[in-house]
Amino acid sequence: MFPELPWYRCLDALSVTLLLFGLAIFFSLPTLRGSGRDLDYWENARRFLARFFPPDFSVTPQVLTALAETAQIAVLATAGALVLSFPLGLAGARTLSPRWLVTLARLALNVTRTVPSLLWALIAVAIVGANPLAGVLGLTAYSVGYLGKFFSDAFESVDLDVARGLRAIGASRIQAFQHGVWPHTRPLIWSYALWMLEYNLRSAAIIGYVGAGGLGVLLHGYQEYHAWDRFCAVLVFILGLVTVLDLLGEWVRRKVTKRAARAPA
Amino acid sequence: MNRRASPTSPAADAGSAATHTPAPTSTASAASFASVPSAAVPSAAAASTRATARSDDAHILVSGLGVRRAERWLFHDLTLTVPRGAFVAIVGPSGAGKSTLLACLAGALAPGEGEIRFRERSGRLVAPEHCRPRIGCVFQRLLLVENSSVLANVLCGRLGRHRWWQTLFGAPRAEREAAFAIVADLGLAPHTHRWVAELSGGEQQRTAIARALFQEPDLYLADEPISNLDTYLTGRVLGRLRQEAAQQGRTVFCVLHDPTLVDRFADLVVSIDPTDPHGWRVRPVRR
């Protein structure tokens, strides 16, 4: 006779979390009650969005300058985060570092990640003033939280026996890392770095709201003066930037990880 | 010819010494050796000179080696003297402890009892963990860097000869050419710059062998290096290893299963019996 599983064996982690999520949805529904006032939502939306059109592209020169500044902020922040995340990622990899260091590094990374990028930018503005440097510092701090975690996970995913094999034939620790661990993590790290660059470009467009340079400064200004048509022009440029980046990032990532993906598990 | 005849005598000595005398090292000293390697070196040297009083060309001296897995000894009191340039086949059924013996010889595993010493060409006796760059390994699981090219993997063979900053930006041209010569010799020339992950099992195995050959070690430890190779390549690889042993004096330990290959290539056979820890035997191969 076919050995039937008892009913409670169906309660694996997936179905339990799914059930909990369903309950969570139910208990979250009260959030949707709105303000209680009698508003015509459609009319509101129509009236507000109508002010966005047609976009006022007379601001293109300023936008392009700000766009360049946004890109500069994102590039520097990503580069800074890469440099800082590498040692932190090593320290946070359970397979490579002693326990106390892992705990410390992971705690630091979690704290960094918990603070939103806008808040990091605000802190940086308070320290260095309202200029693009604040943007670079703020985004660097935020990115380190993410990249450090990704790098730790990447280092942990490597089969260390290869490095041990190199150690057995005389390689030093550093050599075993460079030749035994790094080739496996390199594609992962590059694709994370590209993802972070994309993310930072999007963030850099926003953090100007707190004065940290880039497109956000323009957005904030146009919002203050209710110049929604210009605001919309900026949004169009951001949309273009993100789309181009997305396509470019996808293409590069495919090139970088193509051979890694083909490796047998 | 001389070299072919010579393994017979020390090996026979070793075999008889093992059966007639108790283990040269007590359990206590073996334990202290495992924990404090440097402190135990003088006594180890003394023990080894005793074992090899008459064989100056002895390369590897194994005395009283015992390894325990769970509650059972895989082998016990294994004593063996191998002359420089011998081809030693390790045989025995699966699970007998062949790979474990190789791991001990590589210095990757501290044996429960006994000790292993290598006589360097200068005459000095050293423990395996202190001369890793001169031990070449072909691991059973190969342990290649899959996301690197064949050439890069082969170049890893000589990492132990350099300090880390010397290998940071790649190997010098001369080394790359030497590595390519070995790659080509094993028929891997068309794959030189392909990633190991893209190769077939046999090609990967040859890459691992090429890495060991490129290392030019004093001692080869090969764990079933021909398991994925066809007859032609088997002869080629084992022939190359045999040639390394006979002409360069690089001793070879090789786990083999096929008795005809053992008869064709080996000078000495170490057989391990999974049912009896004292059932290991060392015998010369007569041709």
Q: Is the pTM of this model over 0.95?
A: no
Q: Which residue of A has its CA nearest to B157?
A: A169
Angstroms from A169 CA to nearest CA on chain B: 5
Provide mean pLDDT across the span A51-59.
81
Q: Which helix (H) or strand (E) holds B223?
A: strand B219-223
CA distance A143 to A112: 8
CA distance B171 to B242: 28
Q: What is the pLDDT of residue A224?
A: 84
Select from B114, B110, B59, B72 the least CA-distant residue to B253.
Answer: B59
Preceding omega of A54 cis (within 30 degrees of 0): yes
Mean residue pLDDT across chain A: 85
Provide mean pLDDT across the span A239-264.
73
Provide mean pLDDT across the span A32-61.
81
Provide mean pLDDT across the span A223-240.
86
Residue A25 is encoded by which pair of tokens?
A: 């949805």
Residue B9 is encoded by which pair of tokens?
A: 């005598």
Q: Best of A164, A169, A173, A256 to disrupt the B interface by mutation (most B CBs within 10 Å)? A: A169
- Residue range B51-67, pLDDT digits in tens: 333 446 788 999 889 88
- Residue range B112-141, pLDDT digits in tens: 888 899 988 888 888 888 888 889 999 988
Phi, psi of B242 (to 5 degrees): -65, -40
| Surface of B (150-179) touching A: CB under 8 A | 152, 156-157, 159-164, 167-168
Q: Which residues of chain A does B147 touch, with a Cβ-Cβ cutoff of 8 Å? A: 183-184, 186-187, 259-260, 263
* pLDDT < 50 stretches in chain B: 1-55
- Residue range A5-43, pLDDT digits in tens: 777 777 778 888 999 999 999 999 988 887 777 777 888
State the ipTM, two decimals.
0.71
Phi, psi of A225 (to 5 degrees): -95, 10
Q: Are B145 and A185 in contact (CB under 8 A)?
A: no
Q: Which helix (H) or strand (E) holds A106?
A: helix A99-114
